[in-house]
Amino acid sequence: MHECILYKKLKDDEVQCIACNHKCIIDENMKGICGVRKNVNGKLNLLVYGFIASENIDPIEKKPLYHFLPNTNTYSIGTVGCNFKCYFCQNYRTSQVRESIGKEVSPKEIVDRALKSGCKSISYTYNEPTIFAEFVKEVAVIARKKGIKNILVTNGYMSKECLDFLGNYIDAMNIDLKSSNEKFYNKICGAKLSPVLHTIKDAYDRGIHIEITTLIIPGENNSVQEFEHIAQFIAHIDRNIPWHISRFFPMYKMRDKEITSLDSLKKAESIGKKYLKNVYIGNVW
């Protein structure tokens, strides 16, 4: 365990986590929604500090980032847990786990491995990096000194306090914009839409390189209206922001859904290109 920085002490040993926009108020010996930030004796502790559940060398295009350090590899790490409960989660085997697993490594070890591998960047990915922000920060500070870039692959639900905490050390972000519909976020993700929209704009305004991903799910977020709203929102910030349209495969609690049709993906692409300069279809082999 490692004491968190992103929290406030309340009365009677209660604490409030301020890492993400859930802003969980956590009683003693209880955990936040993410399952990895626990109140121990009136202090919020990060249970997964240094416990890496997934660690790989990936092409940066897999994040996906197409306009940041193209044709390079990125050293990718993740822990377990998530502040969302997405029924369609493509990484549920780690993100929906609530117990610490993996091998414990120090921030310096992560950077040393990235250097040895020849990677130009470190990506905090596979599960939501916001929930282990303190570990991300320690790795990122060392990485920056060694000339390695830092990337967040995120659902965008981080708080302003978290973005303030990490922002000066983050070079690029791929942010999931899962839908333009508040009901979708409430019902399927257990979250709200507006904080995600705010994070996208805030991160862009800070000068962080931004790319957006939307997983297109049949019958849930694949309407023409959805495509229009998402593309218009991105274009309102900057027409040059890349939009990645990703194909859904049945997974986790949505195994009864069909794979996204190519027609649906192409429709989204066509609409996106009315507003944006860089639109890509992904997860299609």
How far apart (Å, rounded) are the C-alpha atoms in residues 5 and 43? 10
- Judge if 36 and 60 occupy the same domain: no
For residue 232, report the phi and psi dihedrals to the nearest 5 degrees. -65, -40
- Specify burial of residue 194 (Cβ count, 10 A radius: 0-12, 13-18, 19+): exposed
- Judge if 168 and 267 occupy the same domain: yes
pTM of the model: 0.96
Q: What is the pLDDT of residues 203-243, one digit of tens each?
A: 999 999 999 999 999 999 999 999 999 999 999 999 999 99
- Judge if 70 and 191 occupy the same domain: yes
- Judge if 99 and 37 occupy the same domain: no
DSSP class of 141: H
- Judge if 27 and 80 occupy the same domain: no
Give SS3 for 187.
helix
Q: What are the start-end ranges of the E strands in the chain? A: 2-3, 7-9, 15-17, 25-26, 37-40, 43-46, 51-52, 54-59, 73-78, 103-104, 121-124, 149-154, 172-176, 209-216, 243-247, 279-282
Domain count, the chain: 2
- Judge if 101 and 197 occupy the same domain: yes
* C-alpha 222 chain-centroid distance: 21
Structure confidence at residue 1 (pLDDT) = 80
- Judge if 105 and 239 occupy the same domain: yes
The residue segments making up the domain with residue 26 are: 2-46
For 17, the token pair is: 């986590």
Q: CA nearest 52: which of 88, 124, 104, 87?
A: 104
* Average pLDDT of the chain, as a whole number: 96
- Farthest-apart Cα atoms in the chain, separation: 56
Q: In which residue ranges of the chain is pLDDT below 50?
A: none
- Judge if 12 and 140 occupy the same domain: no
- Judge if 98 and 170 occupy the same domain: yes
Peptide bond before residue 129 is cis, with ω within 30 degrees of 0: no
- Judge if 90 and 149 occupy the same domain: yes
216: domain CATH number is 3.20.20.70
Q: CA nearest 43: which of 81, 69, 82, 17?
A: 17
- Judge if 98 and 116 occupy the same domain: yes
131 and 20 Cβ atoms separated by less than 8 Å: yes
Q: What percent of the chain has pLDDT over 90?
A: 94
- Judge if 163 and 29 occupy the same domain: no
Structure confidence at residue 90 (pLDDT) = 87
Q: What is the pLDDT of residues 2-38, one digit of tens each?
A: 999 999 999 999 999 999 999 999 999 999 999 999 9
Do you know the residue count of the chain? 285
